[in-house]
Chains A and B, each alone.
Chain A
Amino acid sequence: GAVVSQHPSWVICKSGTSVKIECRSLDFQATTMFWYRQFPKQSLMLMATSNEGSKATYEQGVEKDKFLINHASLTLSTLTVTSAHPEDSSFYICSARGELVVEESSYNEQFFGPGTRLTVL
């Protein structure tokens, strides 16, 4: 399957600072990437859908001015948590739509990054 990386894998920051998380599709081009957030012992919650060259589409309840998403190329999307506060501490996971080939048939599937653990002090 396709490989998606995230950087950094973990980050600790002070309250009020901004943090940028990168998501890269390493061996394929992704016109669509997704950003999720996962709190401890909870499931993944979709935050936004990021399309290359256009504005991201945010899910209801997600502040677009706080979680800035940029998808400037077909292999890179970034999520910036602005003015982070302790309640923003979470596991942030990105995914990218890529082609999956199974027995000569091609499908589009989502491939996930390893996640970024954000801790805001």
Chain B
Amino acid sequence: DAKTTQPNSMESNEEEPVHLPCNHSTISGTDYIHWYRQLPSQGPEYVIHGLTSNVNNRMASLAIAEDRKSSTLILHRATLRDAAVYYCILSRGGSNYKLTFGKGTLLTVNP
């Protein structure tokens, strides 16, 4: 599976936007970009995913670079409940669908 690179940690203030970057320079044409987050002592939670176009949902936005070698997860207004480890994961579609988790980015949200 293609690898992703994320900063180990980031800090944000409450009610401010947060941009979480992810580099995936070896992404292949069939790889989807997934974002999950994990709160302490909980299972991961699906956030968003995309292939080529930017995506928006109620939780976040996903901005994908034109060459697809990087992407950014955008939380429009961070809250204290958004403090978590955020994982950027590439996965091929179809039946061989495994998620390989890296170390992710620990997001701290300051009140």
What is the interface of chain B mostly: helix, strand, loop, or mixed? Answer: loop
CB–CB B46/A111 < 8 A: yes
Interface string of B74-111 (1 = CB under 8 A from A): 00000000000001000000000111111110000000
Q: In the complex, which of the residues A93, A109, A111, A113 contacts B49, with contact meaning CB atoms closer than 8 Å?
A: A109
**A97 contacts B100, C-beta separation under 8 Å:** no
Contact B103 A109 (CB under 8 A): no
Instruction: Answer whether residue A110 sits at the interface, using C-beta atoms and an 8 A cutoff.
Output: yes
Q: Are A95 and B98 CB-contacts (below 8 A) given A43-B104, A107-B49, A109-B49? A: no
Question: Of residues B43, B45, B103, which shows the largest number of chain A Cβ atoms within 10 Å of its Cβ?
Answer: B43
Q: How many residues of A contact B (CB 8 A)?
A: 27
Are A49 and B43 CB-contacts (below 8 A) given A43-B104, A109-B49?
Answer: no
A93/B57 in contact, CB under 8 A = no
The distance in angstroms between the C-alpha atoms of A93 and B99, with both chains bound, is 13
Set of chain B residues within 8 Å of A6, measured between Cβ atoms: 43
Interface residues in B5-42 (C-beta closer than 8 Å to A):
34, 36, 38, 41-42
Distance in Å: Cβ of B37 to nearest Cβ of chain A: 11
The listed residue (A1, A46, A95) touching B100 by CB distance below 8 A is A46
Q: Which residues on B sit within 8 Å (CB–CB) of A36?
A: 101
- Per-residue CB proximity of A29-51 to B under 8 Å, as 1/0? 00010101000000111100100
In this complex, what residue of B is CB-closest to A45? B101
Given A43-B104, A102-B57, A107-B49, answer yes or no on A112-B43 (Cβ-Cβ < 8 Å): yes
Supposing A102-B57, A107-B49 touch, asked if A93 and B43 sit within 8 A by C-beta, the answer is yes
A to B CB contacts below 8 Å, 21 in the list: A6-B43, A34-B99, A43-B102, A43-B103, A44-B38, A46-B99, A46-B100, A49-B98, A95-B44, A95-B99, A97-B97, A102-B57, A108-B97, A109-B49, A110-B46, A110-B97, A112-B43, A112-B44, A114-B42, A115-B42, A117-B41
Binding site for A on B (CB under 8 A): 34, 36, 38, 41-46, 49, 57, 87, 97-104
